[in-house]
Amino acid sequence: MNTATNQTPAKLDSLLPGIVLLTIIPLSILAAFSAEIPGYLAGIPAWVALFLLLGRQQRGQMIQRLVLLAIGLICLALSQVIGDGTSSYLLKALEANQMIISMLVAVSFLRLVTLSGLETDDQLPPGTRALNGTLFGGHLIGSVINMSSVMILGDRLSANRPLTSLQGLILLRGFSNCAVWSPFFAAMGVILISAPGASLTTLVAYGIPVALSGLLLTSWQISRHPDASSTPGYPLHLGALWIPMLLAVLVMIAHKLWPDVSVITLVTLLSLLFTLLWLPVKTGARSPAILAKHVQLGLPRLGGEVTLFVAAAVLAAGIGALLLSLDIRLAPEHFGPLAACVTLAVLIALAMIGMHPVTSAVLAGSILMPSVDDPNLLGITLLLSWSIGVGLSPFSGVQISLQSRYGISALTLLRMNRFYAPTMIVIGFGSILLYSYLNA
């Protein structure tokens, strides 16, 4: 009897975080379609998830989140004491980036239906062709399931031998270049909120050539690497690639058909609907159990991202409220191409010293928006900074994972990026200037 009594609370404790995160989705969708439902209502379960999941984070992550929360809350408190008119920032803090968290939770379900072509026992063929297949195929997979792709491919490549620095670089480049264009990436969700009014079509149109440039540059680097011919790649099949391509097309079509519905809401809905429709076809009667397991075990693994998004929302709201109450304007008079290039350089520099792109993008958006006439220009700038910063910074989440999980040296990756870094920064500047010229 005592055993059963003790198991019930334990089971509830393991289910509660996933259930709380799941409730954000319907509340966020209702808030998106009904003006009568405030966004902060969907933010309440995000805050509950913060308290449930914060203690499960690694010590360094937990300290970072607590520092961001503390700074944001102190700034909010000071703004209330100093001046009026900052109540809207309190609501922004309470909303806790609920739209992005909702999208993050919904997109995580896609992992259940996009991995069939990856879970194979095929031999790992060596050579440039196989490595390029890993690069471009991993890029497409990563554009939908985000950093999970790096871990899945990395674990497969390192199953029988340590992951090499070249393989690590390929995984890093394939992943980081997703951020500049993929509508399923958290980067796009953050930027569409930080640069309200930006067009998904425009951001993707300018992001894809940048991503392709980064991938082609990496492919050229692979061809010149002395170990390329003997380094194994991952045999990616069409079965693993058609779903990411189809989903990206569906998002673009849905955005054209319903332009008044936010892209984040469309991605959230499409991710869930596709999973619920395709998973029974793929797994049959096992699909309910698979979904339940994901809610119990998969969703709580998003704790690092969820706590960061909540903390970043509080920080941005606090700093925005304090600047408003003090009547301080940090933004230039006009956000044009020069200011965009300077912003890109500054944000990449901040990434190199460890600032997370979520924090820098949200802060930059809140500071710069008052000076922005063209939100697409700001959106392109923030996406470029996210993508390039993640690929270059030894403190980015993906690089830390490569260092800790597979023993890839941070100094080795820095050395291998010595030509890639300035080239991608120049390409970033060129994209900003091209957009400004064509839309002058």
pLDDT band at 2 (very low <50, low <70, confident <90, very high): very low
Q: What is the pLDDT of residue 416?
A: 95
Q: What is the pLDDT of residue 1?
A: 43
The model's pLDDT over 222-241, given as tens digits with 9 standing for 90+, comes to 999 999 999 999 877 676 67
Instruction: Tally DSSP H helices, then E strands, for the chain.
Output: 20, 0
The model's pLDDT over 121-175, given as tens digits with 9 standing for 90+, comes to 557 889 999 999 999 999 998 888 787 788 888 888 887 789 999 999 999 999 9
- As a whole-number percent, the residues of the chain with pLDDT over 90 amount to 55
Tell me which DSSP letter residue 278 carries: H
Q: What is the dihedral of CA 428, 432, 435, 438, to 10 degrees?
A: -120
Q: What is the pLDDT of residue 214?
A: 97
* Mean of pLDDT over the chain: 88
Residues 6+ apart with CB under 8 A from 226: none
**Can you give the residue ranges of every domain in the chain?**
2-438
Q: What is the pLDDT of residue 145?
A: 77
Rounded Cα–Cα distance for residues 268 and 30 (Å)? 12
How many angstroms separate the first and last alpha carbons of the chain? 75
Closest CA to 213 of 432, 383, 424: 424
CA angle 223, 228, 232 (to 5 degrees): 130
In order, the DSSP letters of 349-394 are: HHHHTT--HHHHHHHHHHHHGGG-S-HHHHHHHHHHHHHHHHHH-T
pLDDT band at 11 (very low <50, low <70, confident <90, very high): low
The model's pLDDT over 271-288, given as tens digits with 9 standing for 90+, comes to 999 999 999 998 889 999
Q: Is the pLDDT of residue 5 over 50?
A: no
- What does the pLDDT average to over 322-339? 85
Rounded Cα–Cα distance for residues 23 and 27 (Å)? 7
Rounded Cα–Cα distance for residues 68 and 85 (Å)? 23
How many residues comprise the chain?
440
Amino acid at 206: Y
Rounded Cα–Cα distance for residues 59 and 45 (Å)? 23
Q: What is the pLDDT of residue 153?
A: 87
Q: 87-95 and 39-53 are packed helices; what angle lies between their axes, rounded to 10 degrees?
A: 60
The model's pLDDT over 379-390, given as tens digits with 9 standing for 90+, comes to 999 999 999 999
Report which of residues 297 and 121 the model is more confident about.
297
Q: Is the pLDDT of residue 86 over 80?
A: no
- As a whole-number percent, the residues of the chain with pLDDT over 70 amount to 93
Report which of residues 331 and 204 the model is more confident about.
204
